[in-house]
Each structure stands twice: as structure tokens, then as C-alpha cells.
Amino acid sequence: MLYATHAVVDLDAIAHNVQAARELSPGKQLLVAVKADAYGHGAVEVSRRLAADGLADWFGVATTPEALELRAAGITQPILKLSQCLAEDELDAVIASEITPTVVDSLTMAAAAAAADRAGRQHYPVHLAVDTGMRRIGCEPEEAVDIATEAAERGLDLQGIFTHLPVSDTPRGADFTQAQLKRFLAAVEAVQRTRVSAGMQPVPLVHAANSGALLGHLKDGCTMARPGIMAYGYYPDANESPRPVKLQPAITWQTKVSTVKRVAAGETVGYGRTWTARFDSWVATIPIGYADGFSRLNSNRGRVLIGGRSYPIAGRVCMDQSMVDLGPATPDHAAPVSVGDDVVILGTQGDQTISADELAELMATISYEVLCLIGKRVERLYRG
């Protein structure tokens, strides 16, 4: 390990969480979202483990390079790109690597068909996104039949139809979510009815259930579920999401103490001189900063664990380093920590835990962003 700051990813925990998602969606296929480098956990290693255990039927990505990385790593399961492709060469790369594209309208349908023709691929599979209220991507529900019909006319295989639920993670969103599901399933029923009347098979993969829906809503009428954040051990809403299963956070983010020094009363620490020692104090430096994903919002507010104890951040988080207030430096007391001691940024040490939810609350954001912010230069180590 060439850099002290690293993250340990527990693959057994991820397998446990995905198995829990399976138990919440019996009889359904499972697409596990591994976009954004598996929410910061490492898409290749996570996908390999879930594939080896037979826990994921599909993988979901946001970008074509994410999908190509999985194919290069030997992942053979179907991969769905969850948004439309924007360029001809992107579609060509998608089809050459047998990645399933999402279509959202006649334009993207025509582009996918043209790419399939260039590749000499007949009946290439696509999934249709239907917008039932997210207002992000997808056709309107009343357009679904026409676009599904166009897929057949253009020689594409409409293998899946899906929507996304923006407030399924909280009971306050239940009415909106149920209305979305009603609109979605009505559109699906219309598509299926039209296909059967034309002598075609129904669309086999119908999916809407993200983590929030898996945890808190009925999924009748769907044949596939799409867990995301729950696969990595966190509930989509830290306070309000139902918890029918016990999830296990899968990542521990660590570094080591690099310096310990005595700071005299009245001296300041860090950029902007925002922290002043009220009395002679021990201050440690740790090699982690905002370039690693440890947000500058932790300045003078965050905390870390050293030796099973909690210590506050002193001063501003720097690009590559941060300082930690270790408490009073009295003449007859040595520093409570030493150079080389393990430091936990995210995870458990002794009986203390810092969760992604805690960091998210401090940053006024969500656990997803905390995990995704962990930078590429932070080496991932895997166990399990």
C-alpha cells in the first residue's frame, strides 16, 4: 500500500445486502446498480463477487465507460445503461460489447436501430424508460404504446420497460409513489396488450423498484427490481425509510496519523487561521483531504476515530491533509496518539462508529454523495 489513506470494502456485507434485496423481491430478477464505481465501493470487484455468487442477474450503469470497464473485467451478465446514449460512436461501442441501451423516444429508438444495423445485429435488445413523475428521462406514459410498436417496426427487441420513483424512500411520498406505479403499470398493460394482439410476446422485464420501493412499497406487476444504495448497506432515507431487513455498511475509510505536535495556547492551525488553541494542545495531522473526498465541510465540524476515541477536526480540511484536535497538552501527559496509529474516517473503531449518514448530515447531503465522493486515489482493499 503506497498511500496511507485507503478504504476497506467488505464484499460479504454487500452479498448479505443483495441477498436481503432478493428476499424482498421473491421470484423477480435483480439488477444491482454498480454505477459511480459501485457507489464508491469498486464496480469491478463488487460485480465479480455478485456474479460469482449468482446474486445479480443484471448490472446497471450510468455511462458507457462504466459498462465497458465491466466487460473488460470479464463480467458476462447483462448490463443496462440506465440513460440514453448521446452519440453514434457511443451506441456502436455499446452494441459491440453487448450492453443494453435505454431508449426514451422515437429519436433514440431510431439511433439504436441504426447502430444495430451497422453492427449487423438483428433484434438487438433495448429497454424503454417511461417518465411517471421524476421528470428526468423517459417517454410520457401515453406515448409508451407507440414507441414500443416502433421498436418492433425497427427490428429491435423491446426486452424491458421501466420507470423511476423519486420519493419511494419516505412514507411522506407514499401517495405520489403509488400514483406513479399506477400510471406505470397502466402503460405497461397497454404495451403488453398491443404486443399480444400483434402476435408478439409480452415485454419480459418490467422494473420500477429502487431501494426505497423495495423497502417500503408493493411491487406487484414488476418482474425485476433495481437495488442501489441498499446493496452497500445504507437506507435511502437515513431517518424515514422502512427497515424490514438489516443492512450492513460495507466500507471502512481509514488513514494513519502522520504527525503529532504540541500547539501553544493562542496559536492557530490551518488555512485561514480558523482554529485557535485555547490552551496548550496536542494536534495530529492525517494524510486525507478534500482531494480524497473528505469534504471541506468537515472543517472545524467533523470528527475522526483514533484508538477507539472520537477527536474533532481542527481548522480547515486541506486538499491532501487535515488536522485533529487531540486535547490538552499538559507537561506531565504525553500525546494520546502516536505517528502511525490507525484513523477511521468512516466506519467503526472500538465501540465508536462514524456512518455515511452522519457525514451526510454534517454536509447537508445524503449518504450516496458521501460514498461517491471517496476519490480514485484512495486505494480500495477487499475482504470477504
* Homologous superfamily, domain 11-232: Alanine racemase (3.20.20.10)
Angle, alpha carbons 244-349-249 (nearest 5°): 25
Q: Where are the domains of the chain?
A: 11-232, 251-383
Adjacent-strand bridge partners of 279: none
User: For the segment 38-70, what is each residue's pLDDT rounded down to a tens digit?
Assistant: 999 999 999 999 999 999 999 999 999 999 999
- What average pLDDT does this structure show over 187-209? 97
E-assigned strands of the chain? Answer: 6-10, 29-33, 58-61, 79-81, 102-103, 125-129, 157-162, 205-209, 224-225, 251-256, 259-263, 268-269, 275-276, 281-286, 303-306, 309-312, 322-328, 342-349, 352-354, 379-383
Distance CA 341, CA 337 (A): 7
- What average pLDDT does this structure show over 260-274? 98
Q: Is the pLDDT assigned to residue 219 strictly greater than 70?
A: no
Q: Is the pLDDT assigned to residue 2 strictly greater than 90?
A: no
pLDDT averaged over the chain?
97
Adjacent-strand bridge partners of 20: none
- What average pLDDT does this structure show over 100-123? 97
Say what percent of the chain tops pLDDT 70: 99
User: For the segment 77-101, what is each residue's pLDDT rounded down to a tens digit?
Assistant: 999 999 999 999 999 999 999 999 9
Q: State the catalytic residue, choosing from 28, 35, 81, 219.
A: 35
Q: Which three cell numbers stand for residue 7?
A: 478504504
Contact 158, 203 (CB under 8 A): yes
Distance CA 110, CA 154 (A): 7
DSSP 10-74: EHHHHHHHHHHHHHHSTTSEEEEE-HHHHHHT-HHHHHHHHHHTT--SEEEESSHHHHHHHHHTT
- pLDDT band for position 331 (cuts 50, 70, 90): confident
> What is the amino acid identity at position 300?
N
Q: State the catalytic residue, choosing from 39, 232, 234, 271.
A: 271
Q: What is the pLDDT of residue 220?
A: 79
Q: Which residue has the cell 482531494?
A: 291
Q: What is the pLDDT of residue 1?
A: 78
Domain pair 11-232 / 251-383, same fold: no
Return the H-helix or E-strand segment holding 145.
helix 144-153
- pLDDT band for position 175 (cuts 50, 70, 90): very high
Active site residue 35: yes
- Prediction pTM value: 0.97
- CATH fold of 251-383: Lyase, Ornithine Decarboxylase; Chain A, domain 1 (2.40.37)
Q: What is the pLDDT of residue 218?
A: 64
Q: Is the pLDDT assigned to residue 146 strictly greater than 80?
A: yes
User: For the segment 271-299, what is each residue's pLDDT rounded down to a tens digit?
Assistant: 999 999 999 999 999 999 999 999 999 99
